[in-house]
Amino acid sequence: MVASRGIAGACDTPVYRYATYNWTPSPYRIYHISRGQPLAADHPVRRAIVELTTSPPDAPRAVANLELVEIDAAAENPLEPLPPPVRDEAGFVLERATRSDEGQAVPELPRFAVVLPNGYPVYEGPLSEGDVRAIADSPATRKLVELLAEGKATVMVLVEGDKAEDNTAAEKLIAATIARAAEGELSPPPDPALSTTEPDAKPARVDAGTIRLRRDDPAEKWFAMSLLHVEPDIDERTEPMVFSVYARGRVNPPAIGTGINAEELERQVRFVLGPCACTVKHDNPGMDLALVADWDAIALAMAKRFGSETGNERLLGDVPGLFPEIVDVAGPAKPDATAEPSASPSAEVPATASVATDAANKDSAQRNEKPSQSIPAPKAVQKAPSPIESTREESNDVALLRNIGIGVIVAVVLLGIASLALFRRPA
C-alpha cells in the first residue's frame, strides 16, 4: 500500500520551501464603485488591472495578485452579482463609499478602494494606471521577487525609522543574522528519524537577503503602506521595523524599535527554516504582499533544485498521496473571456463581477511607473471590522474540513480493502 509522505510521516521540508510549493498568494482586491455604467475615463485603469492579473494558458507569464471587483451602487441589489466570499467585504466598502458623515457631502462616484488580504481598506479615492502597476510592481518589490526566486529562505526588509543611528544599528543586526544563517548556525539539526543525510551531517547553510526601504520614497509608497498595515496601528510607529518575507511573498509581523535584536531576528529566520507543519496558509501568521511574479515557475525551479520532498510531489509529478493536498488556493483573479478588454483605448470593460468570481471561488476552496501626480498620496483609513478579516479565512477552514472528510472516507475504504484481503488469505 502506498502512503503519502505528507500524511503518513512527519514533514521535514522547511517552511519556506513548503510554502513556496503550495501557498498561492491571496489577492489585493481593488473595488471600483460606480453608479450605472462605469465612466470611459476609468476604462484604462480597469483594463490595467485585468492585464496585470491575466496569464495566457499557452504562454504563462508573471502576474500580480490583484483582483478587480465591480460594484454598481445604483443597482437594486448591488452585492447580488458578487460571489458569496466577497459580499461581506464588498458591503463594507460600498457603505464607506456612499455614506456621508455629519456635515460632509456624499462622496463622489466613481471611486476605487484597495483592500489588503487581511481586510484592511488601505486606500479610497481615484486611481491611475500608474497607481495600479505601482501597487504590485516597484523597484523594491522587483528586487524582493528576484531574491526569493534565487532561493533565499527569507528576505529581511528594513523599513527605516526617523533616527539614522537606529537604522544603522538595525542594518548591522540584520547583516549579522544573515551571516549566521549562511554558516548554518540557525538551521535546525537534521532529524535522524526523518532525514536521509549522514548521521553526523551538519545543519544546512542557508541564504537570506535584505532590502532597505524609505517610508517617504514616492516609488515605494504602496509597498510601504502594505508593510505598515500588516498589523493594526504600526503605521503610527516611527522606529525602524524589520519584516521577514518568505515563499511567495508572505510577510510576518515585524520586529519594531527595541524589539529589533539578535534573538528576535534569529527567531524569524528559524521559523522559515523549521520543518513545515503541512497546514493551510491561514493557520500561519502574516499576510501576502502584492507582487508580480510567475510563482509556479519559481516553485518548479526550487523543487528541481532540492529534489523530491514533502510538498512538491505535484510539481515533480511524483505519485500523489492518498489524501488531497491541504493547501491554500486563494489567488489573483483569472478573468473569463467576457471580461477581456479589447486593444482599443476606448474599449469597454464589462461592469460585472465576473473578474472577481473565479478568484473568490478559489478562495472559498482554499514596470515601475510613478503614481499619478493628479491624485493625493494614498492615506490609511480605518481598519475594517473583524467580520471582513475573517471572511477569507472562514472559506479556507471550510476547505480544510472538506479535505479532512475526504481523507477519512479514503482511509475507511482502504481499511476495508485491507481487511478483505486478509480475510481471503489462505490459512
Taking only the tens place, the pLDDT of each residue in 103-114 is 566 678 889 999
Whole-model pTM: value is: 0.73
Determine the pLDDT at residue 90: 94
DSSP structural state of residue 188 = P
Mean residue pLDDT across the chain: 79
Determine the pLDDT at residue 344: 36
DSSP string, 358-423: HHHHHHHH----PPPTTSPPP---PPPPHHHHHHHHHHHHHHHHHHHHHHHHHHHHHHHHHHHHHH
Cis? peptide before 44, omega within 30° of 0:
no
Instruction: Judge whether residue 99 has pLDDT over 70.
Output: yes
In a domain? residue 212: yes
Domain residues for the domain of 201 are 5-411
Q: What is the mean pLDDT of residues 58-65?
A: 91
Determine the pLDDT at residue 359: 52
Of 99-108, 179-188, 331-340, minimum mean pLDDT range: 331-340
Higher pLDDT, 159 or 204: 159
Q: What is the mean pLDDT of residues 167-188?
A: 94
CA dist list (Å): 208 to 106, 148, 244, 263: 49, 9, 10, 16
What is the residue whose three cell numbers read 469597454?
348
In a domain? residue 77: yes
- Give residues with Cβ within 8 angstroms of 76, minimum separation 6: none
108-112, 126-130, 310-314, 415-419: which has the highest mean pLDDT?
126-130
Band of pLDDT at residue 157, cut at 50, 70 and 90: very high
Band of pLDDT at residue 325, cut at 50, 70 and 90: very low
Determine the pLDDT at residue 402: 61
- Cα torsion at 334, 338, 340, 341 (round to 10°)? -150
Number of domains present in the structure of the chain: 1
Determine the pLDDT at residue 200: 54
Q: What is the mean pLDDT of residues 128-146?
A: 97
In a domain? residue 277: yes
In a domain? residue 296: yes
In a domain? residue 249: yes
In a domain? residue 378: yes
Instruction: Judge whether residue 100 has pLDDT over 80.
Output: no
Taking only the tens place, the pLDDT of each residue in 273-287 is 998 876 778 888 899
3 state DSSP class of 237: coil
Nearest Cα residue to 309 out of 21, 2, 1: 21
Instruction: Judge whether residue 365 has pLDDT over 50.
Output: no
Q: Phi, psi (5° rounding) for residue 274?
A: -70, 165
DSSP string, 123-180: EEE---HHHHHHHH--HHHHHHHHHHHTT-S-EEEEE--S-HHHHHHHHHHHHHHHHH
Determine the pLDDT at residue 422: 66
Band of pLDDT at residue 1, cut at 50, 70 and 90: very low
Where are the extended beta strands (E) located within 197-353? 209-213, 241-246, 250-251, 255-256, 287-288, 292-293
Give yes or no for a contact between 128 and 375, defined as CB atoms under 8 angstroms apart.
yes
Q: How many CB atoms lie within 10 A of CB 275?
A: 16
Taking only the tens place, the pLDDT of each residue in 116-132 is 999 999 999 999 999 99
Higher pLDDT, 416 or 332: 416
Give the C-alpha separation, 93 to 384, whole Å: 9
In a domain? residue 418: no
Give yes or no for a contact between 25 and 295, defined as CB atoms under 8 angstroms apart.
yes
Taking only the tens place, the pLDDT of each residue in 205-228 is 789 999 999 999 999 999 999 999
In a domain? residue 139: yes
Band of pLDDT at residue 391, cut at 50, 70 and 90: very low
